[in-house]
Structure 1
Amino acid sequence: MHTQDTSPRRSLSLNPAALDRAPGPSMVGQVRGLLSGQAATTLVVVDPAWIRYLTGFDGSHGTLLIDLRDEDRHLLCTDGRYVEAAGRALGARGLDGLVEVLGDDPLTTSHHRDLLRAPLALLGSCWSLSTLRLLMEIDPTPIDAQPLLWPLRAVKQTWELERIRAAARLADDAMDAALASLADGPISERLLAATYEFELRARGADEPAFATIVAAGSHASEPHARPSERLIRPGDILLVDFGATVDGYRSDATRTMLPSEGADPRVQAYWDIVAAAQRAGIAAATVGASAHDIETAARAVLREAGVEELLLHGVGHALGLEIHERPFTAHDRDPLAEGTVITVEPGLYVPGELGIRLEDTILVGAEGPECLTRPATESRTRPGSAARVRS
Structure 2
Amino acid sequence: AADLIRRSRPLRDGRLRLGGAPLTSERVQAEVRREAARRGFECPHPIVAGGIQGCDPHERGAGPLRANELIILDIFPRDLASGYHGDLTRTVVKGRASEAQRRLHDAVRRGHALAMSLVRAGADGGRIHARVHALFGSLGYRTGAAGGRYEGFFHGTGHGLGLEVHEAPRISRVPQKLRAGHVVTVEPGLYYAAVGGVRIEDVVLVRRGGAERLSRCAVPLEI
TM bracket (short chain): 0.7 to 0.9
- Mapping 1:238-317, distance limit 5 Å: 238-246=71-79, 247-261=82-96, 263-309=97-143, 310-317=152-159
Mapped partners of 1:313, 1:362: distance in 2: 19
> Which residue of 2 is the match for residue 193 of structure 1?
29
More off after superposition, 246-255 vs 290-299? 290-299
> Which residue of 2 is the match for residue 218 of structure 1?
52
Provide the TM-score with structure 2 as the length reference.
Answer: 0.83
Among residues 37, 58, 68, which one is paired with 1:235 in the alignment?
68
- Structure 1's 375 and 276: CA in aligned 2 closer, same or farther, altered over 3 A? farther
Residue identity in the other structure for 2:49? A
Cα drift, residue 332 of structure 1 = 4.1
Contact 2:66 2:94 in 1 (8 A): no
SS of match in other structure, 1:321: coil
Identity among equivalent pairs (%): 30
Structure with greater proportional helix content: 1
SS of match in other structure, 2:37: helix
Provide the TM-score with structure 1 as the length reference.
Answer: 0.49
Q: Deviations over 1:72-92 (max 9, x none)?
A: xxxxxxxxxxxxxxxxxxxxx
Mapped partners of 1:223, 1:235: distance in 2: 20
Cα drift, residue 344 of structure 1 = 1.2
Structure 2: unaligned runs, 5 residues or longer: 10-16, 144-151
- Mapping 1:57-76, distance limit 5 Å: none
Mapped partners of 1:269, 1:311: distance in 2: 15
Residue identity in the other structure for 1:199? E
SS of match in other structure, 1:250: coil
Q: Deviations over 1:268-302 (max 9, x none)?
A: 11110111011101111111111223212211210
CA RMSD for the aligned pairs? Answer: 2.1
Cα drift, residue 335 of structure 1 = 2.8
Mapped partners of 1:321, 1:225: distance in 2: 23
Residue identity in the other structure for 1:258? V
Cα drift, residue 305 of structure 1 = 0.9
More off after superposition, 240-249 vs 179-188? 179-188
Determine which structure has greater relative contact order: mean sequence separation of CA pairs < 8 Å that are 6+ residues apart, divided by chain length. Answer: 2
- Mapping 1:87-126, distance limit 5 Å: none
